[in-house]
Amino acid sequence: MLHMNNVMYKGHVLSAIAVTEREVVSATLVVRDPSGVQRRSGALGTFASPIGALRYAFAYGMAEIDHRKMPPSE
C-alpha cells in the first residue's frame, strides 16, 4: 500500500511517500525547491507504521532545508 502526503516548508514542497510491503514500511521524500528543482532522498529506512514513516520523512526534509543534522530513524 502507498501513502503520500505533501507539506509546504520555507517555500519548498515536501512530498513524503510511505510504502507498505509485506508488513515492512519504508519511506522516501521528494523535495521541490522554490525554483522548481526536485530531488529525491532514496530510502530513508524502515518503520513500524506509515504515519511514523511520513513523519520521519518530513523531519528529514526540514532538517535538510535548514542545514541541520538529520534525525535518527526509528
Backbone phi, then psi, for 49, in 5-degree steps? Answer: -150, 155
Written as tens digits, the pLDDT of the chain (74 aa) is 788 899 999 999 999 999 999 889 999 999 999 999 999 999 999 999 999 999 999 999 999 999 998 766 65
Alpha-carbon separation of residue 66 from 7, 16, 20, 36, 73 (angstroms): 15, 17, 29, 18, 18
Of 33, 1, 27, nearest to 14 (Cα)?
33
Pull the grid cell for residue 56. 520521519
Single pTM value for the model: 0.89
